[in-house]
Chains A and B, each alone.
Chain A
Amino acid sequence: MSPEIIQPPEWAWYYIAVYFFVAGTSAGAYFIGAMEELFGSGGEREVSRAACYIAFPLLVLVPIPLIADLGRPERFWHLFIYNQGGYPYLNLVSPMSVGSWVLLIFSACALLSFLDNLVADRVISFPLFSRYYNRIPRRLYAVLGSLAGFFIAGYTGVLLNVTARPFWAATSPLMGALFIVSGASTGAAAISLYLIWRRRNSGGEVERLEAFDRVVMVSELVLIALLLVLAGRTALPLMTLPFVAMFWLGTVALGIVVPLWFKYRSRRHPFGDAPVLAHYLCILAGGLLLRISLLQAGQL
């Protein structure tokens, strides 16, 4: 009998891995937008605007899979209020508890940035809002939201690392780092896709975004390699069939290596619009498959 008797949580990948991906992408996009907002020239605002329009709508989707995966969905509010005492509850050593609270903070900041842009773009106008519009400390919640966003992108990895399941435990402490880096790269891809859709994908801002993305994707490859070294024998499931296709082909090859090669090449030989679009989609799909692979490899 195997001494490794630690049970898997049997989290459904179509809820939990998808949540990891959506939240990570939203957080990555928000952070990039905030960085542009804080340190950019202020002349072009396309990237930070795109980021705000992506981050919040994605976040709106997030509670659905999270609540659907609970054994008792109608009790989800127990995450915030201890039902037997009626007071707010926070467990500092449980990433799930802290993560739930930070998700609230991040959502609030993302909502503010979203509204802010709608008003700036004159899509909506609240007389009351407009009166106070210039007094809203925009930079403050951009900073707060970025910090919360980083937390949201990374805590899901830490959450896996602080369980006793062999693969998740062995990959400690790198899962959080990998999820942050992957979130930044899928966030950048989402922004680029939005800009293509709005036909605003040119100019210095987009170049800066690409340069940032290249750095991030190289570090993602390095982190994946380190993670596999740490995992050792516990990573063996990644060598079996569904994972060879999902992880090696999907995430590593099509999701990172090919897009990275494409990015370096297209600096000298610009490609047409279709391949550019496709490579962003590949990055997004790779990010999703990364979460599914790492979640499921720990649950086998």
Chain B
Amino acid sequence: MAKGMFVDTTICTGCKACQVACKQWNGLSAEPAHFGKRSGVPYPVADNFTGDSYDNTGTLSATDWRHVRFIEQIDESRREKRWLFSSDSCKHCSDAGCLNACPTKAIVRTDLGNVVVQQETCIGCKFCIPSCPYGVISFSEETGTAHKCTLCNDRIHNGLGTACAKACPTGSIRFGELADLKKRADARLAQLKGKGEQARIYGYEEADGLKVFYLFADRPKVYGQPEDPVVPQRRLVLCSLVTILTAIGVGAAALVNFRERLNGKDEEESNES
């Protein structure tokens, strides 16, 4: 029953319809960090022009749950060029670092497999923020809580697809049953490989499988995705063991010092007597 999205970046045109649809459906305001005050102007003025191709969103944030990246690739002789686009969001990991980290059960997985933050429960401890291996979940000063894409939790539980997939004019973002999406992805991959093009799927193995996975035409890092993401909690057992061993070591040091000297002293005393 797990739902998800398949993002075929090779047919994305960078129109940002998904970003707009996401903002509208989820009622998200503009990113406060992108606006500044200018003297004499009564309203906030946008000041986040990144100079990075057509990208002025920059990163995912508490109010930007979708982010279209623009990657300009030009070879050294400036003859060959390629413009890559990719629409990024929360991956709804099967082993989600953010969900593992949350101490209050504010982050939960629904029956459809998506990962959501329950705003009424979140205390704003911010532990989930560095625990996401994709840098997705973000803290909002305004609400004092963590926010991220919900996979349109309200829509998908009422038989609709996600707003971004609905708005995407090229079918680059597809919503559906995970199994169907994988079939589609494999077929598309085979088609591209057949044409001799470089292509790879990102998200089959990572974090036990990403519910939102991608078809990339280049290495993941070109698209701003980590090459070897690690669910950070997988280090927990080793870290705990080393810490416990150290505790035993410190305990032993204390024992040796407090006991040995005690015995030594006892001997001295008995010698004296």
Contacts and interface: CB of A to CB of B under 8 A. Distances in A.
**Residue of B127, B145, B250 ringed by the most chain A CB atoms within 10 A:** B250
Contacts of A100: 103
5 A-B pairs with least C-beta separation:
A71-B124, A71-B144, A176-B243, A97-B103, A5-B135
B106 interface: yes
A70 B123 contact: yes
B139 A163 contact: no
A199 interface: no
A6 interface: yes
Interface stretch (A17-25, A131-139, A208-216, A260-268): A208-216
B239 A162 contact: yes
**Residue of B127, B235, B247 ringed by the most chain A CB atoms within 10 A:** B247
Given A70-B123, A78-B123, A91-B105, A176 B132 contact: no
A11 B230 CA distance: 22
Interface residues of A, number: 69
B238 A39 contact: no
A71 B126 CA distance: 8
Given A7-B135, A72-B124, A180-B247, A94 B100 contact: yes
Interface of B: 52, 59, 69, 71, 97, 100-106, 118, 120-127, 129-135, 137-141, 143-146, 220-221, 224-227, 229-230, 232-233, 235-236, 238-247, 249-251, 253-255, 257-259, 261-262, 265-266
Contacts of A211: 257, 261
Interface in A31-64: 31-32, 35-36, 39-41
Contact of A162 (B145, B221, B227, B232): B232
Contacts of A175: 239
A150 to B, nearest CB: 4
A169 B232 contact: yes
A74 to B, nearest CB: 9
Contacts of A164: 97, 130-133, 135, 229-230, 232
Contacts of B104: 75, 78-79, 82-83, 89, 97
Nearest to B262: A41
Contact of A10 (B123, B126, B229, B243): B126
A82 B121 CA distance: 8
A215 B258 CA distance: 12
B236 to A, nearest CB: 5
Contacts of A176: 239-240, 242-243, 246
A117 interface: no
A162 B235 contact: yes
Nearest to A35: B254
**Residue of A162, A204, A211 ringed by the most chain B CB atoms within 10 A:** A162
A3 B106 contact: no
B102 A94 contact: yes
Contacts of B120: 83-84
Contacts of B243: 154-155, 157-158, 173, 176-177, 180
A158 B236 contact: yes
Contacts of A157: 239, 243
A174 interface: yes
B246 A180 contact: yes
Contact of A5 (B59, B101, B102, B238): B59
Contacts of B130: 6-9, 163-165, 168, 298
Interface in A130-159: 146, 150, 154-155, 157-159
Contact of A7 (B129, B229, B249, B251): B129
Given A8-B130, A76-B123, A154-B243, A39 B261 contact: no
Contacts of B225: 3
A32 B69 CA distance: 55
Contacts of A11: 126
Contacts of B257: 208, 211-212, 215
A150 B247 contact: yes
A219 B249 CA distance: 10
A296 interface: no
A273 interface: no
B89 to A, nearest CB: 13
B220 A173 contact: no
Given A154-B243, A164-B131, A39 B125 contact: no
B145 A71 contact: yes
Given A162-B232, A212-B254, A4 B226 contact: yes
A186 interface: no
A234 interface: no
A226 to B, nearest CB: 11
Given A83-B120, A96-B127, A208-B257, 13 more contacts: A6-B134, A7-B130, A10-B139, A41-B262, A41-B265, A71-B144, A83-B121, A93-B100, A163-B130, A164-B130, A169-B232, A169-B235, A176-B240
